Chains A and B, each alone.
Chain A
Amino acid sequence: MNLKKEIEVSTFIVSLIVSIMTILLLPIFLDFNLTLTSLGNSLIDLNLVQTGSANAVTSVVTYFRGLDTLGEITVLFVSIFGIGLGLDRYREKLNIFAYENRLLKTAVDILFPLIILFGFYIIIHGHLTPGGGFQGGVIIASAFLLMFLAKHNDVTLNHKIISIAEALSGAGFILLGFLGVLLIDRFFGNFLPLGRVKTLCSGGVIPLIYIFVGVKVSAEMTALIDYFIRIKDVR
């Protein structure tokens, strides 16, 4: 009875807060003449002049707001660190399939290099086409996920190589930021030549930043998936 009363009180408080916020935010949704696009237009105008990148979203993520990307990567690193701290003592792998799936095993041999190649394509062409380091990194991690699902008895992840790749790419990412500070007084400044727009070797430091981000994200997501498919050895 007491518990039910508490749940009702908390539900009432949450619904009260939500309705107050809705009433407060309603003018924003109803005001169609609000000029929120001024910053976006000036960023698009600055994009080609300052970064030489064909994709404006990429130049916002890595150049104009490079510090936020550093924060995002730190959040991802801390969460994987916590998961590893909690789950590293589980050594035995979870028995997902009761029998060997021959079709999946054969398909993985063909698909695994293709998915890795597609992930690196997305990473390297981050300044030309939609996508970039985060998306390509997760695509590479999904290739490893497929590998773990198909051949979970034969394949083990070498955590030493994964952590070395993660550490080197993180250090390289921050090093690029400080090189920008040293050379042109701006964190993640563009100290490389811009090149011709819409070619692969353009955009200054943006492709380098995205390669580091991609390697780091793929290593972290692969380690996370490996932690999740383990189970404590109880036998």
Chain B
Amino acid sequence: MIGLIVLATFTTIIVLAILIIINDDLPHSVVLFMGFGLGSVILYFIFSAPDVALTEAVIGTGVSGVVFLVTLLQIRSKEEIRR
């Protein structure tokens, strides 16, 4: 059972990583990146590293996603001003 979960999560995060790279829409890519972080949280927790899972849950899915989104918004507002 655990092996099945691990295999499913591995394939999901590999597919998500490929999707992040080939996606043209950058905010879409950031949301997929947060999903990638969630998959790695599950993997870290199954492989008995709960503190790494906690760090990944807060930084990988929370803070870095928001920082990416805010940076995209900043770049867009500057481009609009330049026009």
Contacts and interface: CB of A to CB of B under 8 A. Distances in A.
Contact of B70 (A130, A139, A229): A229
Contacts of A134: 55
Given A130-B54, A135-B55, A142-B62, A94 B71 contact: no
B58 interface: yes
B71 A228 contact: yes
Interface residues of A, number: 21
Given A131-B54, A135-B54, A228 B67 contact: yes
A141 interface: yes
A-B residue pairs, 3 tightest by C-beta: A130-B50, A130-B51, A138-B58
A145 B62 contact: yes
A163 B77 CA distance: 30
Given A94-B77, A96-B70, A231-B77, A142 B54 contact: no
B15 to A, nearest CB: 23
B30 to A, nearest CB: 14
Contact of A135 (B51, B66, B71): B51
A153 B70 CA distance: 16
Contact of B51 (A94, A132, A145, A231): A132
B73 interface: yes
A141 B77 contact: no
Given A94-B73, A228-B70, A138 B50 contact: no
Interface of A: 57, 94, 96, 122, 130-132, 134-135, 138-139, 141-142, 145, 149, 221, 225, 228-229, 231, 234
A162 B54 CA distance: 24
Contacts of A135: 51, 54-55, 58
A149 to B, nearest CB: 8
B51 A221 contact: no
Interface string B18-32: 000000000000000
Contacts of A139: 58
Contacts of B66: 145, 149, 225
A187 B60 CA distance: 32
A225 B67 CA distance: 8
Interface of B: 50-51, 54-55, 58-59, 62-63, 66-67, 70-71, 73-74, 77, 81
Contacts of A225: 63, 66-67
Contacts of B50: 130-131
Contacts of A96: 70, 73
B63 A131 contact: no
A231 B70 CA distance: 10
Given A138-B59, A142-B63, A225-B63, A131 B51 contact: yes
Contacts of A131: 50-51, 54
A94 B71 CA distance: 10
17 contacts: A94-B77, A122-B54, A131-B50, A131-B51, A134-B55, A135-B51, A135-B55, A138-B55, A138-B59, A139-B58, A142-B62, A221-B63, A225-B66, A225-B67, A228-B71, A231-B74, A231-B77
